[in-house]
Structure 1
Amino acid sequence: MLYVAFLPIIDQEKNTELRPSHLEYINDLYKQGKVVMAGPFTDKKGGLVMYKADTPEEARQLAEADPVVVGGARTLELREWNPLELPLK
């Protein structure tokens, strides 16, 4: 299943400090097939990570281990996502 993590920034200074480790973490998970895509919002107030996980627990564990979450730079809202198969018939 796919899980979407919304990561609003709550501490810009911590976010700037932790961003390199956040990007490394996301990149490593991408290489393992656990991150499908990720990126910042254009308003620069946070970002989104899409995880591929077998269970909600695995997705939560991956999302909560992100350095920006652990370090208190961002909050986390994690939701399971069921994309439509387009085009619709």
Structure 2
Amino acid sequence: MKRYLILAMRRAQFDLAVVPRHQAFLDGLREHGRLEMAGPFGDKSGGAYLLRAADLAEATAIAHADPAHVSGGWDITVYEWQAH
């Protein structure tokens, strides 16, 4: 498994009601051993999470299933992260 950094940046039309569903989604990833860490940015502009996936296509598919993405209120960007 490789690591992928997922950036979730809030758009102007961001809906606060999506946050609990997004957090539940992350909890599910954690329970399945896919999520290493996650958290919001201090300025409330969005957040990031570190995901484990086989490849970029799988990581992108997982990130695009996130209610934050599905809601249309957040920009989701996926990067392969080669942390040392």
State TM-score, norm by structure 1: 0.88
- Which residue in 2 is equivalent to 1:3? 4
2:36 aligns with: 36
CA drift at 1:5: 0.6
Q: State TM-score, norm by structure 2.
A: 0.93
Larger Rg: 1
Q: What percent identity do the matched residue pairs reach?
A: 31
**Partner residue, 1:19:** 19
**CA-based RMSD:** 1.1
Moved over 4 A (4+): none
- CA shift at 1:72, angstroms? 0.9
Counterparts of 1:57 and 1:40 in 2: how far apart (Å)?
A: 24
- Quote the offset at 1:11 in angstroms: 3.6
Report what 2:47 is aligned to.
Answer: 47
Unaligned residue ranges in structure 1 (runs of 5+): 85-89
* Structure 2 residue runs without a partner (length 5+): none
For 1:15-61, what per-residue CA distance to the aligned partner results, in whole angstroms no more than 9, with x for missing partners? x1100100000001111011111000001100001100011111001
Matched-pair contact (CA < 8 Å) for 2:9–2:47: yes
Residue 77 of structure 1: how far off its partner (Å): 1.0
Higher-strand-fraction structure: 2
